[in-house]
Chain A
Amino acid sequence: MNEPISDETLAHVAQTVLRRDMPLIPSGSIAGNALVVVIAIMTFLACLTAGGALLVARASEGWRSEVLRDITIQLMPRPGDDLDSLVAKAVSAASQAPGVDRVRAYSAVESEKLLEPWLGTGLDLSLLPIPRLIVVHMRDRTGGELPGLRALLARAVPQASLEDHRVWATRIGTMANAVVTLGAALFVLMIVAMATAIGFATRGAVAANREIIEVLHFVGASDAFIAREFETHFRRLGFRGALIGGLSAIGFFFGASTLSAWWSHSTGGEEIAALFGAFALAPTGYLGLVLVGAAVTLLTGYLSRTIVSRYLRGLL
């Protein structure tokens, strides 16, 4: 059994039966699996928060863009006025103003219909002084052409009033920004909670594997080598967790966008669509979720390396 062995035999033994690729940090442990679950859940929630914030930001951009381009001209009926001719004059004046894309006047019937949600149907509204509305769609949203339009309108139809919705747009913009800021804050909190969980798990792993660290230390492994082994181990766990959490979040948004298309005409569907848009993340949004997963993986590796390096510095 112990006579000298040939190189061929050595090569044969090595290639056929030798187990030699085991990681230095044991991979399968209950603590490791628990960490994967924690990272998966945290990544899922972080992606959900980030995706939600992106949806609201994108939807609010849409609202503000539309609201700021639209300007409403309001004509209050006064005794003796021929409202139709005043509307025609206002439409004519607005059409000539610079920066105006298109002008649309609501008819008397359309104006009355706007009151139906409040007053109900079947009422004779001819006795009420219902104002007539003209919607002017501007080419840009900056409001730079507004003084010109206002001046032109004042000359043509002095009793017309102009509403540029900026107060309203500012309010919904503030609300949307608050939601996005809240989403960003929640996202940061998730990441901090996750980093803390990873930190605890790494410290636990260092304590559980102290024997391995010391043996490696005394057989001549450098601190960088040991830290790298831990980083590899934890980055692998982080990747598994981030993959599960990230894919779940991507699946969630994909499913939600499909469902929202079905619900868009149902009760409440329009309100949800108003808040979140079509509930569909742009391709850059999905890319963002992938980046969150990648960042979680790298963060896991980096944190474990830092913690192990700190422990090793205290070891002679």
Chain B
Amino acid sequence: MEIYQRVVTTFLSQASKPPFDETGDRFAGARPKTRLKPPEAASLGHRSENALVRFENVGLRYGMGPEVVRDLNFSVAPQSFQFLTGPSGAGKTTLLRLMLLSLRPTRGTIHIFGKDARALKKDDLTALRRRIGVVFQDFRLLDHLTTYENVALPLRAMGRAESAYRAEVIELLRWVGLGDRMNASPPVLSGGEKQRAAIARALIVRPELLLADEPTGNVDPGLARRLLRLFVELHRLGTAVVIATHDLQLMDQFGFARRLVVGDGEVTIFDGVSS
């Protein structure tokens, strides 16, 4: 509970403020304009054995087509924060799906939580997914369930009794500002509310790794920044965060974050600026 209190206190402290001003310059490329280390100097990832995710020479092609991503070498360290960026269609979602193991690479090796993905059995995959929180680009909330039930879904899927997690879910919903929308179903929620419900669903299991696909894509800049602060706080509390976005202005607000820039099927890494 204390975890959420800290996270959401930050989130709510931003809630009353007006959206941040958008006077900053927009730039065409995905490379950061702030003081980041150049790619040559940036580390290609954490090669230590305790990396949550490690890609080694990973490539993926669909059918007999060309490789959509190739020679991917990077890792995601515990308690790290990174943006995954690049132009639309560059392969950000594909990369996230590879990390979630919903796609198998056609070559190379993916290690997740220290295990070779190729050697994982179905039950192992289920156990690993319980350590990963996912925010889908299109939210993927279940329309016939209430907001409360949607957020509680991962816990229900683990077979936990409803009475055991009820207070936890209600509290999290209140903290993300959905306390009065618990019985509402997704079709009547606004875009921002759906977004927060989707994020709450990803957070409820207190994941070690959070994968978010364009989590700010459907909200106004103010809310986008507040949501981002939510992720940042989660990261400070120990969750490794990977956020796919092409919102350059937003990324500039969080210059400390590492950036994985996807382009032409490859990933270039820019380390963030230490604060």
Contacts and interface: CB of A to CB of B under 8 A. Distances in A.
A197 interface: no
Nearest to A9: B170
Interface stretch (B57-65, B71-79, B144-152): B144-152
Given A10-B167, A14-B170, A19-B183, A316 B149 contact: no
B153 interface: yes
A316 B142 contact: no
A215 B148 contact: no
Interface stretch (A58-66, A86-94, A174-182, A219-227): A219-227
A24 B141 CA distance: 12
Contact of B146 (A5, A22, A316): A22
Contact of A223 (B126, B149, B158, B201): B126
Contacts of B205: 219-220
B136 to A, nearest CB: 8
Given A18-B183, A22-B149, A219-B154, A13 B101 contact: no
Contacts of B148: 18-20
Given A18-B182, A22-B146, A26-B144, A219 B157 contact: yes
Interface in B220-252: none
Contacts of B22: none
Given A1-B179, A1-B180, A20-B166, A215 B142 contact: yes
A67 interface: no
A223 to B, nearest CB: 6
- How big is the A interface, by class? 20 to 34
Interface string B158-196: 110010001100110011010110110000000000000
B12 interface: yes
A156 interface: no
Name, among A14, A20, A220, the residue most crowded by chain B CB atoms within 10 Å (CB to CB): A220
B154 A2 contact: no
A162 interface: no
A216 interface: yes
B35 interface: no
Nearest to A215: B140
A19 B104 CA distance: 38
B142 A10 contact: no
B125 A10 contact: no
B153 A216 contact: yes
B102 interface: yes
Name, among B8, B123, B140, B152, the residue most crowded by chain A CB atoms within 10 Å (CB to CB): B140
A26 B157 CA distance: 16
A124 interface: no
A19 B151 CA distance: 13
A220 B146 contact: no
B225 to A, nearest CB: 18
Interface in A18-41: 18-22, 24, 26
A17 interface: yes
Contacts of A223: 122, 126
A82 interface: no
Contacts of A24: 142, 145, 153, 156
A24 B12 CA distance: 31
Contact of B175 (A2, A216, A316): A2
A212 B180 CA distance: 25
Contacts of A225: 157, 159
A218 interface: yes
B102 A316 contact: yes
A211 B153 CA distance: 14
B209 interface: no
A7 interface: yes
Interface in B65-107: 100-104
Contacts of B140: 211, 214-215
A219 B132 CA distance: 8
Name, among B152, B157, B177, the residue most crowded by chain A CB atoms within 10 Å (CB to CB): B157
A299 to B, nearest CB: 26
Contacts of A7: 167
Contacts of B171: 5, 10
Nearest to B141: A215
Nearest to B145: A22
A223 B146 CA distance: 23
B228 to A, nearest CB: 19
A218 B100 contact: yes
Nearest to B146: A19
A54 B182 CA distance: 56
Instruction: List 8 A-B pairs, minimum CB-CB distance, nearest first.
Output: A221-B157, A220-B130, A219-B154, A26-B144, A220-B129, A222-B126, A10-B167, A19-B146
14 contacts: A2-B177, A5-B171, A14-B166, A18-B182, A19-B146, A19-B148, A211-B140, A215-B153, A216-B157, A218-B102, A222-B123, A225-B159, A313-B122, A316-B102
